[in-house]
Structure 1
């Protein structure tokens, strides 16, 4: 028997029993028997469900553990677990929300059991505030069991999917409605392949959303790089870091999916002798799913490197913008300090005149009959005030030069023509072993150079 070839491309949307969250959720059951059409039913509680009855293919679509109906959801959940004898490991992993899980069990009656858990973060693409950027998490469970029949190399297969994504539901419905549904009775891993390829299409879609968010951050940061001269912009570092976190979660989900495909390939070897060509086809498809996840991982790894570069560029741009603002502020402060300096110099010039005038305590100008009369002491004022003013200015100038020299010791030593050489301890010992004459000569040269300066 040949496996249907339509699983490689995304199927067209068909009516499906899409589960609904909330108290109105119901179980959906689909089953097939050889030479009979597809049948399905809907149930509102686990008590209405029947245990496995040996149907060739039996599929139950169930809610997650936190979405079971009724006033006592825990009791409903426990009833469902005991009805279909779900392994404790599967239940514990489901309740813990593990990122990656792939388990197998072999029963005493020959029944094989396989389960997987899936988890991925879905980022918010249309968010303007940090509160709106909190991501959502998509998780679902896959539980598969099969039992050998009296017919040669065939099984009765039962599947429970816990609130699967729409991509998985569409592919399952397309498969059970197709003439090739009997392939699963020969190789139950056909359903594993359906789960993995549908999960890939969902994860790849999320990965493209993450890549597009990172591309938008790159475009924004390059635009900000051209606005350093503008004060009317703000760099959203929270959004950039959120997208970097999305890339990290995306890589985690891809690594988990790759591990699941690896384990599926390993466990698929156990039924190699029973499937023939169908087994070969399923095994090759599983290898193809592995390459698909690897391809998406390569793209996401590149996106993560790009967002790291964007973060570095964002901090450099932010630093450059702050430096420009500080430079403008320093220029404004420099202008203010120069104005204050000018006022101080003017006050310094007129301070002696004011002090001497107050000491004289006389009026230098008196109105006359035709012109202003000048007091003879006015000229004495100039004789005393001008020398005092010059002395004060000279002292102030010398003080300013000494302060500038203290703040620039490196430049003064360079102007003096002296150089500084770093000598390692080994070289110092080697030089000292040559004798004290070299040391004395070096000291004399430095003393003479200081005297020349």
Structure 2
């Protein structure tokens, strides 16, 4: 596997092997088909040179084949591990934008690797059972022990790789959950900021409304009377009309009555028995604080 941009390019290798043992002549035929050219070359190279101590054992070829299977599984498990480690080492961003599609693709491959390891381990169990059953037929006890030991070693390696693969799956799920929680936390912070901004805007609107409420009645009274209270003369300068008191007599009571009505209406809109602190607490809870 290799990473190209935010996508992983991968290649799965399929190993199809058929073996046939002729006990009378101690001959073993190994047929490899539909394999990658490089894989076929490595398997062929592993059989040469071959010691004579193996040729009396029908399972000697499995030791060479399982070495190649272990190598392939090891490369696959470590490739997944490298991707996960790269994700774990990424520095946190102010605005998290995790590559969810890429993470789920890697998770899918990790599950497939674990699946192939499970199949390989079960296959090894069958090989070991078969090898035990032919122990009495093998004349070379030392060679049998050597082959059996190598098969057991390959089995243990596959089991170790399976545990590593399961750990890869858990580490990857942990990173996916962390990315999801980071995005959720960031979105919650944005919601809180929007709520605070809305609250500040509401306070500003209340101030503007109060100022409008304070100046609107006097403006209204002035429009009704449409009279000039001030007069400028070049000889006497500025003079004030004797009827200027009429403006104050109407403007001040009208302003006070309008303000009182607004205050009464605001107070009546609140739920009875709920204090201002409870109102603020309810508002903060609705914002997710």
Q: Does 1:396 align with 2:262?
A: yes
Matches within 5 A, 1:152-191: 154-162=25-33, 163-164=35-36, 166=38, 169-178=41-50, 180=51, 183-184=54-55, 186-191=56-61
Consecutive unaligned residues of structure 2, counting only runs of 5 or more, are 280-289
TM (norm. structure 2) is 0.84
Cα distance in 2 between the residues matched to 1:190 and 1:169: 19
Deviations for 1:311-359, whole angstroms, at most 9, x for unmatched residues? 2211111111112222333333333333322221111111211222222
Q: Could you tell me whether the CA contact under 8 Å between 1:257 and 1:293 is conserved in 2?
A: yes
Residue 211 of structure 1: how far off its partner (Å):
0.9
Cα distance in 1 between the residues matched to 2:9 and 2:242: 89
Cα distance in 1 between the residues matched to 2:276 and 2:133: 79
Q: Does 1:203 align with 2:66?
A: no
TM (norm. structure 1) is 0.55
Cα distance in 1 between the residues matched to 2:28 and 2:131: 15
Match of 2:283 in 1: none
Residue 412 of structure 1: how far off its partner (Å):
6.4
Q: Does 1:372 align with 2:238?
A: yes
Residue 173 of structure 1: how far off its partner (Å):
1.9
Q: Could you tell me whether the CA contact under 8 Å between 1:167 and 1:202 is conserved in 2?
A: no
Deviations for 1:378-431, whole angstroms, at most 9, x for unmatched residues? 321222221221222222223333434469579669xxxxxxxxxxxxxxxxxx
Give the counterpart of 1:249 among 112, 120, 125: 112
Number of residues of Structure 1 aligned to a counterpart in Structure 2: 275
Determine helix, strand or coil for the equivalent of 2:18: strand
Determine helix, strand or coil for the equivalent of 1:362: coil
Match of 1:353 in 2: 218
Two-structure CA RMSD over aligned residues (Å): 2.7
Cα distance in 2 between the residues matched to 1:283 and 1:177: 20
Determine helix, strand or coil for the equivalent of 1:138: coil
Cα distance in 2 between the residues matched to 1:367 and 1:168: 112
Cα distance in 2 between the residues matched to 1:168 and 1:407: 84
Match of 1:35 in 2: none
Cα distance in 2 between the residues matched to 1:289 and 1:302: 20
Q: Could you tell me whether the CA contact under 8 Å between 1:183 and 1:278 is conserved in 2?
A: yes
Determine helix, strand or coil for the equivalent of 1:286: helix
Consecutive unaligned residues of structure 1, counting only runs of 5 or more, are 1-122, 414-453
Cα distance in 2 between the residues matched to 1:250 and 1:407: 63
Matches within 5 A, 1:103-118: none
Q: Could you tell me whether the CA contact under 8 Å between 1:141 and 1:164 is conserved in 2?
A: no
Relative to structure 1, is the Cα distance of residues 147 and 410 closer, same or farther in structure 2, using a 3 angstrom cutoff?
Answer: farther
Residue 293 of structure 1: how far off its partner (Å):
0.7
Cα distance in 1 between the residues matched to 2:240 and 2:143: 126
Cα distance in 1 between the residues matched to 2:159 and 2:224: 95
Higher helix share: 2
